Amino acid sequence: MFVKGLLDVVEQHYPVRTRRIRQAEYPWMSPSIKKKIRTRNAAYRRLIFSRGRTYPSIKADFMLRKREVERMIGHGKMEFFQRNASNSRKIWAVLGRLLKKDHQVKTPSQLDANAINLHYVQMGQHGVPHPPAARPEPLSVNPCVFQFSEVKVEEVLEILREITTARKSKGPSGIPPKLLGIVALPIAEPIAHLVNASLRSGVYPDLFKIAHITPISKSTDASKPDDFRPIALINNASKVFEKVVQSRLLEHLQRYSTLSSRQLGFRAGH
C-alpha cells in the first residue's frame, strides 16, 4: 500500500515524460573544433553534389578540411589526457565511452530470452561451489548475542539523501531516486516503521524482493547465456533496508573483531 500510494502521488504530480537526450560531447570538443567540423561537413556536401562531374579542387578542399579536423581532435585529446593525468575517474569515464563505441558486443536480444532466464534460474537452484575453508581465527569475545537496534527517522533521512545523490536506476518500482530525495521528509517515518516492523517480525516485504535482471556481456564474442553476467536492479526503497542491516552487522562484527584479517573485499580501508 505504501509503494502504491507513493506511485499514485508520483503519477499525479510528477508524471513520466519521454524526452530525447543528445549524447554528451567529449570534453576535448572545443568551439574551434566544432567550427572546423561544420566547415568540413559543408565541404563534404559540396563534394557529394558534384559527383558525376570533375571538380578536383572540391575534393582537395574536403580532404584538407578533413585532415585539419583530425589533427585538431588528436591535439585536443592529448591535451585532455595530459591535463587530467591525476584524475583517474574522469579519464576512465571517457575511456569507457570510447571502448563501448569501438567494441560492439552481442546483445541479449539476439539470443533467446527464455534460455537466458532458465540459465539464471538453474544457477540459483544449483548454487556455486564453495571455496576451500580458511583456518578459523580465535575470537577474543563471544559475539553470539546479536539484536537489531531500532531504526530512527533521522537515519532513514540520511540514507534517502545518499540514495538521491548517487547515480542509481529507478528499479522495478518506477520511483526515481531523485524523487525520493524530494519527498524524503514525509516518507522517512513510514519507511522507518516498515524497517522496524520487518526486523522485529523477521519478514521481508515481498515487493522488495522483486528485481529487474539485466544481462551484461562478459566478452565481445558472447554467444551463449553463460557469457552474460546478471545485474540486478532492485527497488530504491529496499536499499534503505540493506543499508540499515549492513551498518548494524558491520558494527557488531567490528566490535568483537569477528571479521578475518584475510577478508579484504567490501571493507573500507582494506
Same domain for 154 and 85: no
Same domain for 187 and 77: no
| Model confidence at 48: pLDDT above 80 | yes
Sign of CA dihedral 112, 118, 123, 126: negative
Residue 23 DSSP symbol: P
The helix-helix angle for 184-201 and 2-13 (nearest 10°) equals 160
CA 149 vs CA 122, 153, 187, 195, 208: distances in Å:
37, 13, 20, 11, 21
Same domain for 195 and 113: yes
Same domain for 246 and 149: yes
In a domain, 163, yes or no: yes
Are the C-beta atoms of 66 and 39 separated by less than 8 Å?
A: no
E strand or H helix at 212:
strand 211-217
Range of the domain at 41: 31-102
Same domain for 62 and 177: no
Interior/surface letters 182-210, b for 16+ CB within 10 angstroms, e for the rest: ebbeebbeebbebbbebbeeeeebeebee
In a domain, 237, yes or no: yes
In a domain, 14, yes or no: no
In a domain, 181, yes or no: yes
In a domain, 245, yes or no: yes
Tally of domains in the chain = 2
Are the C-beta atoms of 228 and 116 separated by less than 8 Å?
A: yes
Same domain for 72 and 59: yes
- pLDDT reported for residue 96: 76
Same domain for 170 and 41: no
CA 104 to chain centre: 19
pLDDT tens-digit readout, 49-107: 877 565 778 888 899 999 999 999 999 989 988 888 888 888 888 887 777 654 444 55
| Model confidence at 44: pLDDT above 50 | yes
Is the pTM for the entire model greater than 0.95?
A: no
Same domain for 117 and 214: yes
SS3 assignment, position 27: coil
Same domain for 178 and 95: no
Same domain for 155 and 35: no
For 3, phi and psi rounded to 5 degrees?
Answer: -65, -40
Same domain for 230 and 174: yes
Exposed, middle or buried, 222 (CB in 10 Å: 0-12/13-18/19+)? buried
CA 223 to chain centre: 24
E strand or H helix at 233:
strand 228-234
H helices of 103-165, where?
Answer: 113-126, 153-165
In a domain, 81, yes or no: yes
In a domain, 264, yes or no: no
Give the span between the Cα atoms of 197 and 193, in whole angstroms.
6
pLDDT tens-digit readout, 172-227: 877 778 778 888 888 889 889 989 999 999 898 888 888 888 888 776 666 777 77
In a domain, 8, yes or no: no
Same domain for 165 and 51: no
